[in-house]
Copies of this chain bind each other. A is one copy, B any other.
Amino acid sequence: MKIRRRHPIFVSVVALSSGAFTPQPLNPLMLGFTAETAEQQLQLESRFDDLLRAENLHDWMQLITAEPIYVGSPHNREVADWMVEQFVSWGYEAELAEYRVLFPTPRIRELELLAPTRFTAGLREPTLAEDATSGIEKNRLPPYNAYSADGDVTGELVYVNYGIRADYEELERRGIDVRGKIVIARYGGSWRGIKPKVAYEHGALGVILYSDPRDDGYYHGDVYPEGPFRMDQGVQRGSVLDMPLYPGDPLTPAVGATPDAERLNREEAPTIMKIPVLPISYSDALPFLEALEGPVAPAEWRGALPITYHVGPGPARVRLHVEFDWELTPAYNVIARVRGAEFPDEWVVRGNHRDGWAIGAADPTSGMVALLEEARAIGELMRTGWRPRRTIIYAGWDAEEPALLGSTEWAEHHGRELREKAAIYINTDGSGRGFLRMGGSHTLEPFINQVARDVTDPQTGVSVWERARAARAVRGDEKAKKDALSREDLRISPLGSGSDYTPFLQHLGIASLHLGFGGENRGGSYHSMFDSFDHYTRFGDPGFVYGVALAKTAGRTTLRFANADVLPFLFGSFAESVGRYLEEVIELADEMRDETERENRLIRERMYELAADPTETYHPPEPKESVPYVNFAPVKNALAELERASKAYDQALASRMAGGGLPASRAAELNRVLMSTERLMTRDEGLPRRPWFRHQIYAPGFYTGYGVKTLPGIREAIEERKWDEATEQMERAAEALQRVTRAIDQATKLVGS
C-alpha cells in the first residue's frame, strides 16, 4: 500500500505543469530495495515510527540543558557519560573517544569608548525571570569569540558593515583605510570568522562584532522574553578560527589530536586569528556607532538602530582588551555502535554535536535528542531480534562549536578506516518547527526525496516533502519556484560548512546528508545564554513534534542505508547538479568579462568621477585586467561522459530492482563500487592553498566561511582572477568526474550483466 503512495503528487504535477516536461520517475520502488525487501523495510520503519516518544525528547533536553555544556565544562562530561550509559542500556557498544584540543576561554574582556564621550561596554547578558537558566553563574562562559588573539589595542573606530571584502572596496571608494584602526562589523553576510580575517588582511588592529537588530533583533519580531527574537543585551558567541583553511584542532591539522599527536606551537597555528575580536550586544554597540562621524554609510550598510549610520573613522576612539587562557582541553565524543549482521565493514555513521556555547537547547540539543530517540527506538527494534545488515555508528560530537573539533579529530584519527568502510554520514544539528531542509551529496538526492515523501508533517498531515515543496513553490526565488512545480525531486543544497559533516564529506569524501527542520522556529537565541529549554519549548518546537519528525526522517535514512540491498545512490541528479554548477561558473566568467569591460570603460571615460558628488571624497576603482576566455572543454567533456554513464546506471538499476534485484555477491561487489564514488570526487592534494579540503565538487568558500562553493577549485580561481589556476583546476575537476564516471560504468556492468 505504502509503495503505491510513494509519489502521491506525481500525477497532478504532470497534469498541471503547463507543457513543462516532467520526467517519469525512474524508481517508483524504494531505492535500493526490491518490491519484496521494500515491503519488509516499510514494516520495520512503521514499527520504528511507533516507538518514537516526544516525551523522551522533552525530558532529555531538560536534563541536558540544566547547565552550560561547552567543551571542558563539568556538565559536558556528565552528559557524555550519561549518554554512554543510555546507549549501552539500549544495546549498543558505546564509549567516549577523547581528544586533547586547544580551546581558549576568556580571562579579560574590556571594551571602552574613549572619545568623544566615554562608555564602557557591559558585555553581560542579563538574568530573566522568564528564563530559568539565564541566571546560572557557575561554569558559565561569557560572550567571546574563540580563537581571537590576545590583545590590548586602542584606535579610531570604523564601521565596516558586514566586514567582508566588498565592504572594504566601498570604504576605499570613500578614501577610508582601516590600517591602525579598530573596526566594528555587524554579524551576517558571511560566517563570522571571515570578518576578523579580512579586517586583519586590511591592517585593522582589532574587531568588534555585534548583532544589529536589522539582522537579529526587534526588526524581525518581539524580543525575548516577550517574543523569540534577540533582546538588546543578547550576544552571539562563536568561533573565529580560520576554518575555511582547516577545521578541527588548530595545533594538529589533518591528524587526530590524540595525547601523543605532534602539535604545532600556538604561534605557528595558521588558523588562529592574529588580532583581538570581541562580540557585543546591540545595546552595547549603540554608543559606539552613534559616536561615529564621517560619510553616511551606504544604504545597504544601515541597520535598524535609530541612528544615522556613519562610517567614521572616528571621532570615536576605542580600547579593546582581551586575553585568554589557552588550554589543551579534553573533548569527549560519544561513539556508539551496533555491528552489522551481514556487512559489518559497511558503516552508516549518524552524528550530531553535543556541546553548546552556553545552555545549548536549540543548538545542538534539539538535534541531539532526536538522534538519541532514534537510537533508542532502534535499540527497541533490536530487542525483538532484528539487526541492521550494516554497522550503524551513532556519534555525539563534542566541541563542534569552537571548530568542529570532536568530529574532525575523530574523522582524522580514523580517516583510513572511514574511507574504506563508511557508506554515508548523516548529520543533524539544531532543528525546530517548520520545513524539512535537506543538504548533501547529490548522489543521494533521489534517495532523500523518497525518505521525505514517507514522513508525515506533524502540523498539516501531508508529507514533509509536500510541505517543503509548498514553501519553495510559494516563497522560493524564481528558479526554486519553477523547480518546485516542475521537477520530480526537490533539489538538495550542496554543503559548505558549519556543522560536523565537513570532515566526513570534504576531507574524507564520504557521501553525506545534513537534515533538519526550521523556518517556523524563528528567533534570536543563537549562541546566547537564552538558547535555553524555556526558549526552545516556547518558540523552537513546542511539544517536540518536529523533533520526532526529525527522528523519523534521519532514522529512516539510517535504517534504509543500513538495510538496502543496493546502496541507494543514483547519479542522474549528481550529473545534472554538476552541469548546473558548471553553467554557473561559465556564466560567472562571462559576467566578469562584461562587467570588467564596462567598468574599465566607466573608469577610462571618467564616468565614476562625474557621477560622484564632488563635495564628498571619492576614489574611482582601478581598471582591472580583461577577463580571458577560459577553456571549459575538459569539464564539459567529462560531464558529457558522466551524464551518459549516470543515465545508463540509473536505468539499469531501476529495471534490475523491478525485476527482483541482484544476487547477493553481485550486490556486495556493487556496493563496494558505489561507496567509492564520493571518494573519487576528492584529491589527496586538496584545493589550492588548503590541502585539507579535498572534495572537488563541494567546499566552504575561502571568503564566505560556511557558504558553499561548488566546483570550488574552478570557481574560486575565477573569482580571484587566477586564470592559470582556473585552467589547472579545470583539469583536476575533469579528472575527478572521469574517475567517478569509470566507477559508474563499472557499477552499471555489475548491475546489468
Contact = CB atoms under 8 A, between A and B. Distances in A.
B605 A16 contact: yes
Given A306-B304, A610-B466, A615 B296 contact: no
When all copies of this chain in the complex are counted, the total is 2
A176 to B, nearest CB: 17
Contacts of A296: 220-222
A608 interface: yes
Nearest to A460: B610
A433 to B, nearest CB: 8
Contacts of A218: 306-308
A471 interface: yes
Contact of A306 (B213, B474, B485, B597): B213
A24 interface: no
A462 B611 CA distance: 11
Given A467-B610, A470-B607, A485-B598, A308 B221 contact: yes
Contact of A469 (B18, B213, B601, B607): B607
A647 interface: no
Interface string A391-426: 000000000000000000000000000000000000
A219 B302 contact: yes
Nearest to A457: B610
A520 interface: yes
Given A610-B466, A610-B467, A602 B474 contact: yes
A59 to B, nearest CB: 24
A607 B471 CA distance: 7
A384 interface: no
Given A306-B213, A308-B219, A597-B18, A605 B12 contact: yes
Contacts of A460: 609-610, 614
Interface string A447-488: 000000000000110100011011101110000010001000
Contacts of A611: 467, 470-471, 473-475
A305 interface: yes
A608 B470 CA distance: 7
Interface in A611-648: 611, 613-615
A517 to B, nearest CB: 13
A91 interface: no
A149 to B, nearest CB: 34
B221 A608 contact: no
A268 B123 CA distance: 65
Interface string A282-314: 000000000000001000001011111000000
Nearest to A466: B610
A223 interface: yes
Interface in A218-240: 218-223, 227, 229
Nearest to A434: B613
A730 to B, nearest CB: 26
Q: Which of A229, A460, A485, A611 has the most CB of B within 10 A?
A: A611
A301 to B, nearest CB: 11
A474 B607 CA distance: 7
A613 B520 contact: yes
Contacts of A470: 602, 605-611
Contacts of A16: 601, 604-605
Nearest to A608: B474
A485 B601 contact: yes
Contacts of A227: 308
Given A598-B485, A601-B16, A306 B308 contact: no
A311 to B, nearest CB: 12
Interface in A189-242: 213, 218-223, 227, 229
Contacts of A467: 610-611
Nearest to A605: B12
Contacts of A306: 213, 218, 304-306
A500 to B, nearest CB: 29
Contacts of A605: 9, 12, 16, 470
Nearest to A604: B16
A587 B358 CA distance: 54
Nearest to A13: B605
A616 to B, nearest CB: 9
Contacts of A462: 610
A24 to B, nearest CB: 20
A222 to B, nearest CB: 5
Q: Which of A213, A227, A304, A460 has the most CB of B within 10 A?
A: A304
A476 B661 CA distance: 61
Contacts of A475: 611
A272 B604 CA distance: 55
B602 A473 contact: yes
A220 B18 CA distance: 46
Nearest to A616: B520
A613 B521 CA distance: 10
Interface string A484-499: 0100000000000000
Nearest to A221: B296
Contacts of A598: 481, 485
Contacts of A471: 610-611
Interface in A48-105: none
Interface in A1-56: 9, 12, 16, 18
Contacts of A434: 613
A215 to B, nearest CB: 12
B485 A615 contact: no
Contacts of A610: 460, 462, 466-467, 470-471
Contacts of A466: 610
A601 B485 CA distance: 9
A469 B609 CA distance: 12
A219 B300 CA distance: 11
Q: Which of A18, A221, A605 has the most CB of B within 10 A?
A: A605
A35 B195 CA distance: 63
A222 B296 CA distance: 8
Contacts of A520: 613, 615
Interface in A571-625: 597-598, 601-602, 604-611, 613-615
A397 to B, nearest CB: 31
A67 B218 CA distance: 43
Given A302-B219, A520-B615, A597-B18, A473 B308 contact: no
Contacts of A229: 308
A613 B467 CA distance: 11
A261 B265 CA distance: 95
A305 B467 CA distance: 35
6 contacts: A16-B605, A18-B597, A302-B304, A466-B610, A470-B609, A470-B610
Ordered nearest first, which 5 A-B pairs have the shortest CB separation?
A: A470-B610, A470-B607, A474-B611, A306-B306, A470-B611
